[in-house]
Structure formats: structure tokens, C-alpha cells
Structure 1
Amino acid sequence: MRTVKQVAKASGVSVRALHHYDHIGLLTPDIGENGYRYYGQAEMLRLQHILFYRELGLPLAEIARILDDPAFDTRAALLDLRRRIDEEIAQRRDLAQTIDRTLASLDADKALDDHRLFYGVSAEKQAQWEAEIVARFGDLGDVAVRDAKARMEGLSPAQLLDFKAEIDAIHAGIVTLIEAGGTPSSNAAQELAGRHYRWVCRSWLPDAAAYASLGRMYVDHADFRSMYDALHPGMAVFMEQAMVCHAQTVLQGRVQ
């Protein structure tokens, strides 16, 4: 049997995340007479499945549904995970090769092939997201999508890399804040929300209502929620609350 600290050290999952998994019933350890949590072989194997599915971007609710299915079979699940990972590796390999080509072209000061610039990015997924934005925001969403495309097409390869680096830094800051016990309305969170809003404005210009609605989309939409909760349990909700707070306290009434 292993204590929660031992499991955290072995798996790389924070104690706080393990407590969260216990709280939502995703990974429930035994409770000893001393009140401590103890994890046996079955719990460790279940945690392995949880982490693998998280790496693939599945939301925690979907992982729980899979693992709690009465027909769940460990071997079949591992084979399915291996298939999914092979597909993910193939896509990531394409992305890595695209980055390598972009860096090589930048270093050599050569023009980039527009078609090769986006190998590894799923056009189908992009089209799905755009359709959902239009469905959620109506005509404003359609304008925003077209405006965002125009802005992104005008970016140089170096600017595109900077665009990605900035959102990665924002996400890392939010994870650090959550781990430190910060709240969405705190000054630190609102500074990050402001930075996030400025990042969003690099591709489209939402007003207060649209920015708040974007935050709610991070919670409501399975892909977005999965992406954020894979970075940290509860991050999607934290993002939504921080964005709504920022919209109400900073953006409300601002001339767009």
C-alpha cells in the first residue's frame, strides 16, 4: 500500500490533484484507521489509465465513464490506448517536422511554403470549432472567425511561434496560480486574464459579453474543457470564472 505522498512522487501527479480525483470519485483510495489515504495495485493501475487518457485530451468525466463501465476490460482498454497513442504520435510527428521546417526556413531566411506550414493541424477540427463559434455567437461569431483568419494569415512564421509561446506562458502562469491556492478574482488571476484578453485580441476583438461567453465555452465545450483540465484539474472552470470577472470589472463599458 502507498500513501498519497508516495503516489504523488511516483506518478508526478500533485497531492492536490490526487485529492481532487478522490473528491470527484475518479480515484478513491482506501482510508486507514489513522485517516490516511492508501493506494493499492488496483488504484495504481487505475491512475495509470487516468493519466494516459488525460494525455490524449479526454475530460475527467469521460475518463470516469470509461473506467466505471461494467464492461470495462483492462487489456482491451490498454490496446485501445495504444491505438490512440499511435495516432497521436503520428500527428505529433507531423507537427514536429513542420516546426523543424519552419525553424530551418527562418534560419536560412527563406520563404515558407504556405501549404507545408500547417502540416499536422487538423482542418476538420478547425472547421468544427469555427462552426460551433458561429452557432454560439451568430453573426458576430461569423465576423469574428473571418476576422481571426485574416489576422492570422497576416502573421509571419516568427509571429505565429510567438503567438503560441505567449498562450503557453499564460497557461503555465494560471496553473502555478491554481497550485498556490489563488482565486479567479485575485489580482494575480486578473493580471493573467488581462494578458489572456490581449492575446485573444491578437486574432479577434471580443467585447465584454463575448469574452465572458468565450470563458463559458471553455467549460461547456468538451474539447476546450479537456484541454484545460489536462493541464490542471479544474482549470477550465478557473479560466471561465477569471474571464467572466475580467469582463465584468474591466471590459464592461469599454469602447471596442
Structure 2
Amino acid sequence: MFLIKKVSEISGVSVRTLHHYDEIGLLSPKKHENGYRYYSEDDMSFLQMILFYKYLGFPLKQIKELLKQEDSEILHHLKKQLVLMQKEKQKLLTLIDTLEKTIESRERRITMSTKEKFKGFTYQDNEKYKQKAIDLYGKEVIEESVKKQKGREQEIADGFNNIFFAISDNMSKGLKATSKENTELAKKLHKHICEYSFDCSADVFSSIGYGYVKNPEFKDNMDKFGEGMAQYLCDAIQQYVKEI
């Protein structure tokens, strides 16, 4: 059994945060008659899982739901977290490789292609982005998208990114956002969303285009492909919708 101060020392979680976890029912150790909290080995294992999920970007409310499920055996969660961590590891290795190449290109004055600069980044690579999508389009829509993409996430993300890279290249070349080349790419994007995310009407696709500009998270993500990309893509989408 561990007192709260010792738990804080071992885990690196502040006493205040541990009190908060207790208050919200996320991690509630036994309280003895003297008022002290005593953490068991199971409590420590739960805390470990909480920290893993936090590292992976899950909000506390969602972590609480995950750990309350009927199959919330420790081994089940550890295996699930291992899969998530392995995916995170691969992302980090790719980003490290991209960073090393960027440093080398600067030092040796070698030009990197736009695509190389963003290898390892995806258009939706964190829980915050996913939660914002749920807020905007509804939980059922996003859950349908997740089901369609299961096991093919990176392949499908690469498909979306290839469209974004192509539009970004057109922007770099000075083509108008409303050009035929870009409306064709917008059509391809629309088809990709329908096939791998959800049945997206023209009106909803138009709203998605405006969302790239109006929503700060979406805009920041899209502008990684080039300054002004969010607005440029939005204009291409609106032109495509106008023509269909």
C-alpha cells in the first residue's frame, strides 16, 4: 500500500492531480479511518494505464469511460495500449527521419520536396482533431468513418494527403484555386470522403470546405501543406460544388 505522497514520487503525478482523479471518480483509492488515502498495487496499475492514455492524447472523460467498460481487465488495456504505442512509435520514427533529412538539407543546401517535408504528418493525427470533427459532424458520422478505415488508417490517410499535396503543388505553381485541375482534385477528395469516411452530400462537402478556413484546428492542419492552403482548398471545393 502506498500513501499519496509516495505515489506522487513514484509516478511523477502531483498530489493535487491525484486528488482531482479521486474527485472525478477516475482513480479512487481506499480511505482509512485516519483520512489518509492508501493506493494498492491495482490502483498503481490503473494509474499507469491512465498515464498511457493521457500520453496518447485521450481526455480524462474518455479515459474514465474506457476503464469502466466490462472488459476493463488490466491485460486487455495493456495490450490495447501496446498497439497504440507501437503506432505512435512508428509515427515518431518517421518524424525523426523527416527531421534528420530537414537538418541535412539545410546544412548541405539540398532542396527537399514538399512531400518529403511533411512525411510523418497526417491530416488527422491526434485525438483533439478527432474530437473537433465529432463536435462539428456528429459522433455517428465519425464512428462510421473510423469503422470504414479500421486497419487501413495510414493507407487512407496517405490517400487524402496525396490529394492535398497535389492541390498544394498547384498553389505553388500559381494556378487559380478555381482551375479545372483543382476542381478535378476536389472531385477526387469528395469521392475519397464518400468511400472512406461517410456518405457526403454536396452541401456537406461545401461545409467541410468552409470548415477548413473557419475552424482554427482544421486551418492550422491544412496550412501545414503551405501558407494559405486552407483558403485555397476551400475555394477549389466551392467551385467544384458549384459545377456539379
- TM bracket (short chain): 0.5 to 0.7
Counting aligned pairs with the same residue, the percent is: 31
Partner of 1:90: 90
- The structure with the larger Rg is 2
**Structure 1 CA distance for aligned equivalents of residues 49 and 34 of structure 2:** 28
Poorly superposed stretches of 4+, deviation over 6 Å: 126-131, 142-148
Q: Tell me, in whole angstroms, the C-alpha distance in 2 between the residues paired with 1:27 and 1:61.
A: 12
Structure 1 136/39 Cα, relative in aligned 2: closer, same or farther at 3 Å? farther
Match of 1:17 in 2: 17
Match of 1:103 in 2: 103
Work out whether 1:141 is the aligned partner of 2:210.
no
Describe the shift of the 1:138–1:100 C-alpha distance in structure 2 as closer, same or farther (beyond 3 A).
closer
TM-score w.r.t. length of structure 2: 0.54
Cα shift readout 1:223-243 (whole Å, capped 9, x = no counterpart): xxxxxxxxxxxxxxxxxxxxx
Contact 1:22 1:28 in 2 (8 A): yes
Summarize the Cα distance change of 1:93–1:151 in structure 2 as closer, same or farther, 3 Å threshold.
Answer: closer
Structure 2 stretches lacking a partner, 5+ long: 138-206, 232-244
May I ask how many residue pairs the two structures share in their alignment?
157
Q: Structure 1 residue 151: deviation in Å?
A: 8.6
- 1:90 to partner: Cα distance: 0.6
Q: Distance in 2 between matches of 1:18 and 1:138?
A: 38
Deviations 1:59-102 (A, max 9, x none): 11111111111232221221111111111101111111111111
Structure 1: which 5+ runs fail to align? Answer: 156-202, 205-256
CA gap of 1:130–1:152, structure 2 versus 1, over 3 A, is farther
Distance 1:12 1:147 in 2: 32
Partner of 2:111, secondary structure, is coil
How far off is 1:109 after superposition? 2.5
Determine the C-alpha separation between the residues in 2 that align with 1:139 and 1:66.
30
Distance 1:69 1:59, change over 3 A: same
For residue 81 of structure 2, what is the amino acid of its counterpart? L
Normalised TM-score (structure 1): 0.52
1:153 corresponds, among 226, 235, 239, to: 226
Amino acid at match of 2:214: G
CA RMSD of aligned residues (A): 3.6
